């Protein structure tokens, strides 16, 4: 039998199946989707079995060394999905497989040198290396590598390549009963009168025939471990090492919740979903409902139905660690039928959650983007909450969008997909308008709470009237008022595209990264200037390096700066600051939120991360310090993102009895995305934005694809990009427009110059073929000259 194996070498030349003989002894274990260790040249590497054949065009096939799994880690569906991903994103097969699995399953390689013959045969200066051990790891050899290689050709030492598992399954000793209850009873009667401890033990197992961890058993019964051993020896009990899971939510109690009675509107929205579920059909729904309109309850009850039908559910939420409240709701309803996957978990914890899914111990998975690959085999429903979130698009290879994967998987399982949002992406909303997706509306907040009143403050006006602070007079008034009333405030700082940089006031010099075409970001925490892209660090200049002027200072508003200013204006206010610095520690995020909920602070000050999921009754004022900082980014989606963010932040206020107020500070109050966010008028925004997208040939009217070329040599990059652009132009139809070559918005990263070519198209059946041709054509130059070509067929970030 010959196995087709995709090897763990992410390169164009090895992006195909290699043939290996399956040793007879392994024939039962080697199945498609099993990871194996195979010889590859002089090394051993990991690979995925994807199929079988009885013949091969190669002679002298090597044998598979050993399997790494006893059951496949990828089932038929996921193997097929891997092919689809490869095709869609133009990535390597191996990368597609690896992205579907927890990182813990990725192989680690170790290179070692082993002594083969007597140590005396080695030159004296090498002997010390092997004095303690006859095997050393490659790096320990230090400066003796060349000599050792010579020894290797003589056969005195051998170079070993090993594939190592990244995770150890956590195993603990468990004890269970091996015989029937009757036998236990008979045996107990035969015991000597003084065998007290054994009797205690047998009594316990007569009562509790379930398997139990030895440690726990010992703590309950006060019998020595030797007693257990002796009963094991007699064949009454069974001792085995069972896998235990690291449960990140182990010591937490989730209050059990019951399904709520749905409102009339919720009823109306859920019934088409349930119908589709029961008919076993693939269908995509847009659940379009303002914040607080009860989308989650619809998710929960749809899942409930899927579970009742014996099926499973995937729920995607944007970066879940940020919404402990969401986890609480799912765990509360479905208890330990829920697995949670998010970036805050260690790789071991992620692996354990994944194992629960694989072993069918859970029915629901709640997780971030990659949870879309959960290895369920009987999927009943897929839910993507906050559908418009850009984090659903992976920004490195394979550059997939979770929404596309969801629809593809739903197609396989013939099940519904629910895209939920208060501010859908234009793509999704346009599809719903066209009837490609079915739109379900939840137009009202639960209990008919009024939407918060929104006031837009023109900061230019403030400046004109002599207010130079970062807080408008209206906001200060609002803050003072809430402090007096003992109500809570959320202050939101839109930080994207708004890093703190250092500039000289005399000559205008900006402290830039020497390797990248971007200004350095000021980090007060470490008193350093850091580059976002390459990690370059330097100290804050005290004098201008250009003109020697002393008036060099940092610009831009960081959360720390706001906190400081706040302290000056309102010294009595208690502030909790949430940003990367204060939430990097594990669990810090949740703790800060809990403190705020418990009323330990009056003001919650933060960035993006506080925009979502906050639902505290006492918040009555939301202040947006600078609404338009990302409006001017070179990105056609910037208006959409601004609108979404402002709408979302506004939704944090007045979600319960107390009425809410929102104050938005901006320098461009007339911009439609600011204006319309203030009135929460998505439909109007949609119309406006669609006109602009149509005029500029952007999605959803056109598809786009972005080719980015990078190299250390500018001229080389420019000319290569030019050739590529011309080639693309020649291959596509008249309706497509190919823009470029132009320098990328960030024209240099890590000393590599970047040029790009943007393709806008409506229907180009052979686009992927053309793009593949480019990758193949430049393959040699990629290897020999260090050229890099990256292609993103549906980019979310155009930089």
Q: Please enumerate, by residue number, every residue annotated as part of a binding site.
A: 504, 507, 513, 516, 531, 534, 544, 547
No. of H helices and E strands in the chain?
Answer: 25, 33
If we measure between CA atoms, which residue out of 651, 571, 556 comes closest to residue 603? 571
Identify which of residues 489 and 789 has a Cβ nearer to DNA in the complex. 789
CA–CA separation, 758 vs 749, rounded Å? 19
Between 62 and 81, how does the x/- string for binding to DNA read (CB under 7 A)?
Answer: x-------------------
* Interface with DNA, residue 60, by CB under 7 A: yes
If we measure between CA atoms, which residue out of 12, 33, 35 comes closest to residue 91? 12
Identify which of residues 113 and 417 has a Cβ nearer to DNA in the complex. 113
Q: Please list, in sequence order, all residues whose beta carbon lies within 8 angstroms of the beta carbon of residue 385, skipping any fewer than 6 positions away.
A: 295, 296, 299, 315, 316, 317, 318, 326, 420, 421
Q: Please list, in sequence order, all residues whose beta carbon lies within 8 angstroms of the beta carbon of residue 301, skipping any fewer than 6 positions away.
A: 259, 262, 270
Residue numbers in the known binding site for Zn(2+) are 504, 507, 513, 516, 531, 534, 544, 547
What percentage of the chain's residues is helix, strand, coil (to nearest 5)?
A: 40, 25, 40
Identify which of residues 190 and 784 has a Cβ nearer to DNA in the complex. 784
Task: Pull the structure tokens for residue 430.
Answer: 């346009």
Residue of 22, 33, 40, 629 interacting with DNA (CB under 7 A):
40
- Is-contact 743 708, C-beta < 8 A? no
What strands, in cross-sheet order, belong to the sheet with 379-384? Answer: 338-341, 364-367, 312-316, 379-384, 416-421, 283-289, 438-442
Other Cβ atoms closer than 10 A to 213: 14
Shortest spacing between CB 122 and DNA, in angstroms: 18
Shortest spacing between CB 655 and DNA, in angstroms: 50
Residue of 24, 25, 41, 222 interacting with DNA (CB under 7 A):
41
Between 376 and 405, how does the x/- string for binding to DNA read (CB under 7 A)?
Answer: ------------------------------
Other Cβ atoms closer than 10 A to 622: 28
* Interface with DNA, residue 643, by CB under 7 A: no
Residue of 29, 31, 32, 39 interacting with DNA (CB under 7 A):
39
Stretch that binds DNA, among 13-21, 125-133, 218-226, 657-665 (CB under 7 A): 13-21
* Interface with DNA, residue 144, by CB under 7 A: no
Task: Pull the structure tokens for residue 347.
Answer: 């790789």
Shortest spacing between CB 751 and DNA, in angstroms: 18
Identify which of residues 161 and 249 has a Cβ nearer to DNA in the complex. 161
Other Cβ atoms closer than 10 A to 288: 26
Residue of 58, 252, 463, 659 interacting with DNA (CB under 7 A):
58
Shortest spacing between CB 61 and DNA, in angstroms: 4
Q: Please list, in sequence order, all residues whose beta carbon lies within 8 angstroms of the beta carbon of residue 289, skipping any fewer than 6 positions away.
A: 269, 295, 420, 422, 441, 442, 443
Shortest spacing between CB 18 and DNA, in angstroms: 4
Identify which of residues 62 and 360 has a Cβ nearer to DNA in the complex. 62
In 3-state terms, what secondary structure has residue 655?
coil
Q: Tell me the number of residues near DNA by CB under 7 A.
A: 26
Shortest spacing between CB 6 and DNA, in angstroms: 11
Residues 729-788 that bind DNA (CB under 7 A): 783-784
Residue listed under structure tokens 């003992």: 486
Shortest spacing between CB 758 and DNA, in angstroms: 25
Residue listed under structure tokens 């706040």: 566
Shortest spacing between CB 532 and DNA, in angstroms: 25
Shortest spacing between CB 34 and DNA, in angstroms: 17
Residue of 11, 225, 580, 691 interacting with DNA (CB under 7 A):
11
* Interface with DNA, residue 116, by CB under 7 A: no
Phi/psi at 564 (nearest 5 deg)? -60, -50
Shortest spacing between CB 40 and DNA, in angstroms: 4
* Interface with DNA, residue 159, by CB under 7 A: yes
Residue of 1, 31, 43, 247 interacting with DNA (CB under 7 A):
43
For β-strands 703-711 and 619-624, DSSP reports them as unpaired
* Interface with DNA, residue 20, by CB under 7 A: yes
* Interface with DNA, residue 206, by CB under 7 A: no
Identify which of residues 10 and 556 has a Cβ nearer to DNA in the complex. 10
Q: What is the DSSP string of 747-786?
A: EEETTEEEEEEEEEES--TTHHHHHHHHHHHTHHHHHHS-
Residue of 70, 146, 192, 253 interacting with DNA (CB under 7 A):
146
Task: Pull the structure tokens for residue 516.
Answer: 């990248």
Contact residues for DNA, defined by CB under 7 A: 9-11, 13-14, 18-21, 38-43, 56, 58, 60-62, 111, 146, 159, 161, 783-784
């Amino acid at each position: 039998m010959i196995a087709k194996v995709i090897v763990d070498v992410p390169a164009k030349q090895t992006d195909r199946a290699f043939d290996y003989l399956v040793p007879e002894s392994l024939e039962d274990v080697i199945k498609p989707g099993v990871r194996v260790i195979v010889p590859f040249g002089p090394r051993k590497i990991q690979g995925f079995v994807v199929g079988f054949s009885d013949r091969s065009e190669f002679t002298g096939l090597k044998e598979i060394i050993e399997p790494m799994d006893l059951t496949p880690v990828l089932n038929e569906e996921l193997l097929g999905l891997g092919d689809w991903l490869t095709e869609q994103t133009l990535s390597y097969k191996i990368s597609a497989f690896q992205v579907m699995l927890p990182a813990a399953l990725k192989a680690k390689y170790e290179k070692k040198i082993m002594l083969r013959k007597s140590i005396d045969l080695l030159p004296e200066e090498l002997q010390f290396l092997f004095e303690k051990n006859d095997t050393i790891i490659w790096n320990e050899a230090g400066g003796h590598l060349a000599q050792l290689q010579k020894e290797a050709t003589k056969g005195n030492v051998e170079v070993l390549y090993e594939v190592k598992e990244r995770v150890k399954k956590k195993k603990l000793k468990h004890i269970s009963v091996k015989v029937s209850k009757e036998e236990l009873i008979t045996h107990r009667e035969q015991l000597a009168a003084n065998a007290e401890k054994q009797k205690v033990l047998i009594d316990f197992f007569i009562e509790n025939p379930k398997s139990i961890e030895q440690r726990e058993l010992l703590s309950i019964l006060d019998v020595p471990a030797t007693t257990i051993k002796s009963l094991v020896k007699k064949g009454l009990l069974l001792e085995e090492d069972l896998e235990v899971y690291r449960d990140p939510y182990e010591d937490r109690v989730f209050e059990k919740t019951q399904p709520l009675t749905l409102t009339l509107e919720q009823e109306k929205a859920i019934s088409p979903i349930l119908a589709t579920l029961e008919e076993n059909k693939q269908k995509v729904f847009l659940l379009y409902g303002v914040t607080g309109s009860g989308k989650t309850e619809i998710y929960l009850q749809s899942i409930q139905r899927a579970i009742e039908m014996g099926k499973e559910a995937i729920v995607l939420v944007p970066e879940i660690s940020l919404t402990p409240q969401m986890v609480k709701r799912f765990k509360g309803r479905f208890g330990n039928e829920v697995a949670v996957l998010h970036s805050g978990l260690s790789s071991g914890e992620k692996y354990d959650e994944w194992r629960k899914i694989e072993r069918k111990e859970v029915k629901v998975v709640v997780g971030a983007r990659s949870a879309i690959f959960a290895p369920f085999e009987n999927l009943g429903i897929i839910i993507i909450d906050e559908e418009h979130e850009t984090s659903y698009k992976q920004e490195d290879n394979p550059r997939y969008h979770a929404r596309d994967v969801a629809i593809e998987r739903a197609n396989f399982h013939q099940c519904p997909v629910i895209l939920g949002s208060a501010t859908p992406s234009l793509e999704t909303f346009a599809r719903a308008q066209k009837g490609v997706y079915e739109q379900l509306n939840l137009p009202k907040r639960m209990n008919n709470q009024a939407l918060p009143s929104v006031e837009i403050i023109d900061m230019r006006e403030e400046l004109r009237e002599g207010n130079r602070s970062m807080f408008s007079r209206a906001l200060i008034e609002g803050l003072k008022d809430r402090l007096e009333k003992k109500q809570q405030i959320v202050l939101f700082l839109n930080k994207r595209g708004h890093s703190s940089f250092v500039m000289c006031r005399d000559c205008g010099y900006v402290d830039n990264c020497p390797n990248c075409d971007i200004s350095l970001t000021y980090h007060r925490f470490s008193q350093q200037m850091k580059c976002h892209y390459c990690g370059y660090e330097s100290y804050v200049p005290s004098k201008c390096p250009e003109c020697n002027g002393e008036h060099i200072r940092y610009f831009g508003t960081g959360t720390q700066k706001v906190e400081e200013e706040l302290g000056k204006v309102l010294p009595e206010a208690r502030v909790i600051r949430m940003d990367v610095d204060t939430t990097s520690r594990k669990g810090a995020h949740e703790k800060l939120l809990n403190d705020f909920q418990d009323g330990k602070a009056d003001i919650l000050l933060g960035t993006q991360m506080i925009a979502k999921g906050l639902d505290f009754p006492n918040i009555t004022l939301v202040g947006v310090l600078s609404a338009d900082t990302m409006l001017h980014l070179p990105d056609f989606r910037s208006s959409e993102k601004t609108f979404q963010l402002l709408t979302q932040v506004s939704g944090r206020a007045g979600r319960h009895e107390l009425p809410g107020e929102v104050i938005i500070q901006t320098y461009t109050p007339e911009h439609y995305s600011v204006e319309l966010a203030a009135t929460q008028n998505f439909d109007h925004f949609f119309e406006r934005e669609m006109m602009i997208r149509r005029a500029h040939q952007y999605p959803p009217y056109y598809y786009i694809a972005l080719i980015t070329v990078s190299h250390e040599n500018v001229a080389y990059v420019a000319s290569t990009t030019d050739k590529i652009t011309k080639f693309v132009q020649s291959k596509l139809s008249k309706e497509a427009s190919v823009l470029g070559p132009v320098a990328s918005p960030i024209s240099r990263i890590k000393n590599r110059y970047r040029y790009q070519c943007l393709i806008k198209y409506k229907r180009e059946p052979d686009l992927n073929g053309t793009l593949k041709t480019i990758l193949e054509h430049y393959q040699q130059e990629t290897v020999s000259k260090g050229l890099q070509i990256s292609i993103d067929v549906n980019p979310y970030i155009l930089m």
